[in-house]
Structure 1
Amino acid sequence: MENHVALTGAHGFLGWHVRAALEESGREAATIPVGDTFNVAEAASAMSGTTRLIHLAGVNRGSDTEVSEENRRFASQLAQAIVRAEVPPTVIVYANSSQATNGSLYGNAKAAAADILRAAAEEVGSDFQNVLLPNLFGEHGRPFYNAVTATFSHMLSQGQTPSVNVDKELTLLHAQDAADLLTGAVDAGASRELEVHETVSGLLDRLITIDAVYRRGEIPDVAAEFDRDLFNTYRSYTFPEHAPVQLTRHADARGSFFEIIRSHGGCGQSSFSTTEPGISRGDHFHRRKIERFTVLSGSATIALRRLFTEDVVEFQVTGSAPVAVDMPTMWSHKITNTGADLLYTSFWTNEIFNSQAPDTIEKAVHK
């Protein structure tokens, strides 16, 4: 089971991001339920022989009793399985919170859970990593629950006007960066280098600018990684309702003309392809890269599927009525020539292709 990973909380916000990150390295993820559906024998079997066990499951909303007791219970259940595993995990990673040191009820519960897991790891000789995570943000977070970034992004995408109730400085970390820390792709000691400090009002101002620019079909300034991650987060709330981007085609006796993209900052790369009838290109996803498809001539179907779901979104596009379709991060996508003629397609990405870090992960749209 080389590079085999087991994790709890696989179906939550951070769990989805961790599973997406694991896809890039081709690692299999076994999921371990905790709580009322926990089975110690099944959990011990699932984690036995794994190189990494990641504990994500927790309760951060609910009554004081639920928050205090459930976080401890989940850790205790997992600890039981750890000591029963035939071959204990090499590394046990706990997705803890930076609030674990602030003395709050939630912080104390998270700290207690860390102590429980640390003791189990020491008993079986596993390496224990206690990763303190700040405020997380990222694609498909739950509005009014996961983080203020999700709430602001959702409201702006719906044409609403968010307000700041209490302005304070936030320490923010993109969920894909958190996933890299938890999966070992990035050394846990580098977490501070990935964090960004911003006030709640400053965060809202950034998102308002992103919203205003993208509503015109243009790409905002994504030169800074934080702004790129905020844009990817925001646009996850606009898809598919606000897609595709409508382009204006100008035609006269000389031929036709239309603009493909306006980018407000950062580097980029444009490319062009021809595709024979019946042939597809793509069947991959990106974790951070922004990509735009525009058919110049011919007819095609652009199909997309959010990772770990069954729902496929399709757009029928033609060069005679040009539109741009932006590929959401962590959605597998492809374009298929559905016409009788050669398909001409323009592709734009916000970064120059790097063969050492392509951020292009194979994943079929249709299973």
Structure 2
Amino acid sequence: MLNVTVTGAGGFIGKNLIARLHREKGVFVKQFHHGDDLSLLHEYLNDTDVIYHLAGVNRPQNSEEFARVNRGLTESIVTYLKEHQKTPKIIFSSSIQAAGDTPYGLSKKAAEDVLKTYHMETGADVCLYRLPGVFGKWCKPHYNSVVATFCHEISHDKDIEIHDADKELELVYIDDVIDRFIDCLDQKKPEKTLYYSIHSSFHTTVGELAHKLYELKNIRESLIIPDLSDKWTKYLYTTYLSYLETDNLSYALPVHRDARGSLTELIKSHQAGQVFISTSRKGVIRGNHYHHTKVEKFCLIKGEAIITLRKIDSDKLITCHVTDQNMEIVDIPPGYTHSIENVSDDEMIVLFWANELFDPENPDTISLHVQPNTTDEKKG
């Protein structure tokens, strides 16, 4: 059993760390929260193997609070440990501002110095992380994160204030931070250093951040999902969604109806095409066209259907009988005219994927009946 104490357990990083620690086998977590009596922390320290020291302030009512909390609590921890001859590993969340001369930065640097002395005097492992701006779920808006503030305001249809659009930002994602912190549980220091960093960080400006978030908000209108192979975009999108109110998690989609049934676009992507769904009444046949470059996948999710294909230079028919009792996907290659007929007694529902977005100026959809003896071919 590994006994772990987390100070600042109720904060942004603390909550994410504890959620992760609870998934680690053989780890027992003790949480020290803002407002808890110091005697409780001392009790925890008596049998602690690892301390994640995350507690601190960065927006106190007066600047004296920086030193009292950021340095003072660290000194209290170290003093108690030395008095009782305890040498747990300490992982400390510092800030890149420790290299500056602001009251906050100076207090973080002072706490680092306390831990360095502790390491030199006792030989205990110390890992110091000078973190840039951290973003992700559960970060408090209007506190110390421009990402959290912008996500909250934009997702609530409120205006944001930008004083310097060109101000540069260095940001790290919360899960990357937590991964590194978890690595410290039983990892011996590979280098002769007390300072560690997050492997990947993102560089942007305040203006670029705002522009990106407005694009993400517009997904509900455009249905276009951004390129989520880009980690910055993926992490920012998941962060943005975490700020939606619970009564704003769903949104309506435009439905196109006609005598055959309906068609609804679900998701679009410049990298991965689009997904849409259709309903068809009994006896309805959809399709009777082919594509030169576009390819599709059909998946029947309700009903029973006959999917028929024919290579445009051949009379040979390929028939696929599909039902919702045996879920499968039918590939539609280019150069094959194809149709799908509802042969059930009820409504048919089909999920479609196409490898490119529909372009009304260049639809790549040419009408041609699948049955070779039908002569009313249309081009366009």
CA displacement at 1:117 relative to structure 2: 2.4
User: Per-residue CA shift, 1:196-216, capped at 9, x if unaligned?
Assistant: 111111111111111111455
Aligned to 1:107: 105
Distance across 1 between alignment mates of 2:18 and 2:171? 21
Deviates more, 1:181-190 or 1:157-166: 181-190
Amino acid aligned to 2:110: A
- Number of the residue aligned with 2:29: 29
Matched with 2:116 is 118
Cα distance in 1, alignment partners of residues 38 and 258 from structure 2: 68
Provide the residue aligned with 2:242 in structure 1. 236
Q: Which residue of 1 aligns with 2:267?
A: 261
Alignment of 1:81-96 (within 5 A): 81-84=80-83, 87-89=86-88, 91-96=89-94
CA contact (8 A) 2:253 2:266 kept: yes
Given residue 56 of structure 2, which amino acid in structure 1 is its aligned partner?
A: G
Amino acid at match of 2:227: D
Q: In 2 relative to 1, CA 121–266 (structure 1 residues): closer, same or farther, beyond 3 Å?
A: farther
Instruction: Decide whether the 8 Å contact of 1:8 with 1:57 is kept in 2.
Output: yes
Residue matched to 1:132: 130
User: Are the structure 2 counterparts of residues 215 and 120 from structure 1 closer, same or farther at C-alpha, using a change threshold of 3 Å?
Assistant: farther
Question: Residue 257 of structure 1: CA displacement?
Answer: 5.3
Written as runs of structure 1 = structure 2, the 5 A alignment for 1:265-304 is: 265=271
Q: CA deviation at 1:227?
A: 0.9
User: Normalising to structure 1: TM-score of the pair?
Assistant: 0.64
Distance 1:211 1:103, change over 3 A: same
Is the aligned partner of 1:195 residue 2:194? Answer: no
For 2:243 and 2:223, how far apart are their aligned partners in 1? Answer: 15
TM-score for the superposition, normalised by structure 2? 0.62
Name the CA distance, whole Å, in 2 between partners of 1:200 and 1:162.
11
Q: Which residue of 1 aligns with 2:229?
A: 223
1:208 aligned onto 2:207? no
Counterparts of 2:274 and 2:148 in 1: how far apart (Å)? 27
Report the 3-state secondary structure (helix = DSSP H, G, I; strand = E; otherwise coil) of the residue aligned with 1:143. Answer: coil
- For the structure 1 residues 180 and 86, does the alpha-carbon distance in structure 2 shift closer, same or farther, using more than 3 Å as the test? same
Gaps of 5+ in 1: 270-295, 298-343, 347-367
> Structure 1 residues 114, 57: CA separation in 2 closer, same or farther (over 3 Å shift)?
same
Shift of 1:84: 4.7
The question of whether the paired residues in 2 share the 8 Å contact of 1:137 and 1:174 is answered with: yes
Task: State the AA in 2 paired with 1:6.
Answer: T
What is the root-mean-square deviation in Å for CA atoms of aligned residues?
3.5
- Secondary structure at the aligned position of 2:218 is classed as helix
In structure 2, relative to structure 1, the CA distance for the partners of 1:163 and 1:150 (3 Å cut) is same
Q: Which residue of 1 aligns with 2:168?
A: 169
Secondary structure of 1:57's partner? coil
Contact in 2 for aligned 1:136/1:147 (Cα 8 Å): yes
Q: Aligned to 2:268, what secondary structure does the other structure show? A: coil
Matches of 2:265 and 2:221, distance apart in 1: 16
Letter in 1 for 2:75: S
Conserved? CA contact 1:223–1:266, under 8 Å: no
The offset of 1:21, in angstroms, is: 2.7
Residue-by-residue CA offset, 1:74-119 (whole Å, 9 max, x unaligned): 1122213322557532x21110001101122211110111112232
- Shift of the alpha carbon at 1:31? 1.1
Measured in 2, the distance between the counterparts of 1:23 and 1:85 equals 28
Instruction: Determine the C-alpha separation between the residues in 2 that align with 1:204 and 1:49.
Output: 46
Query: Which region of structure 1 is more displaced relative to structure 2, 11-20 or 210-219?
Result: 210-219
Structure 2 partner of 1:158: 156
Residue 30 of structure 1 aligns to a residue whose secondary structure is: strand
- Which residue of structure 2 aligns with residue 61 of structure 1? 59
Q: Which residue of 2 aligns with 1:7?
A: 6
How far the C-alpha of 1:36 sits from its partner, in A, is 6.5
Shift in CA distance, 164/233, structure 1 to aligned 2, threshold 3 Å = same
Deviation sequence 1:310-354 (CA, Å, 0-9, x none): xxxxxxxxxxxxxxxxxxxxxxxxxxxxxxxxxx9x9xxxxxxxx
Change (3 A) 1:66 1:189: closer
Q: Equivalents in 1 of 2:201, 2:258: separation in Å?
A: 52
Between the aligned partners of 1:28 and 1:245, the Cα distance in structure 2 is 41
1:34–1:74 Cα contact (<8 Å) kept: no
Q: How many residues align?
A: 273
Using a 3 Å threshold, how does the CA distance of structure 1 residues 15 and 192 change in structure 2: closer, same or farther? Answer: closer
Indicate conservation of the 8 Å contact 1:7/1:54, yes or no: yes
Deviation, 1:22, is 2.1
Paired residue for 1:77?
76
Preserved CA contact (<8 Å) 2:220 2:251:
no
Q: 1:25 to 1:215 in 2, by over 3 A?
A: farther
C-alpha separation in 1, matches of 2:134 and 2:203: 12
Per-residue CA deviation, residues 47-97 of structure 1 (Å, 9 max, x unaligned), is 3444421100001112111123221111122213322557532x2111000
Distance 1:215 1:241 in 2: 18
| Aligned equivalents of 1:124, 1:110: Cα separation in 2 | 21
- The one-letter code of the counterpart of 1:241 is D
Q: CA deviation at 1:217?
A: 5.4
Between the two structures, name the one with larger relative contact order (CA 8 Å, sep ≥ 6).
1
Aligned to 2:342: none
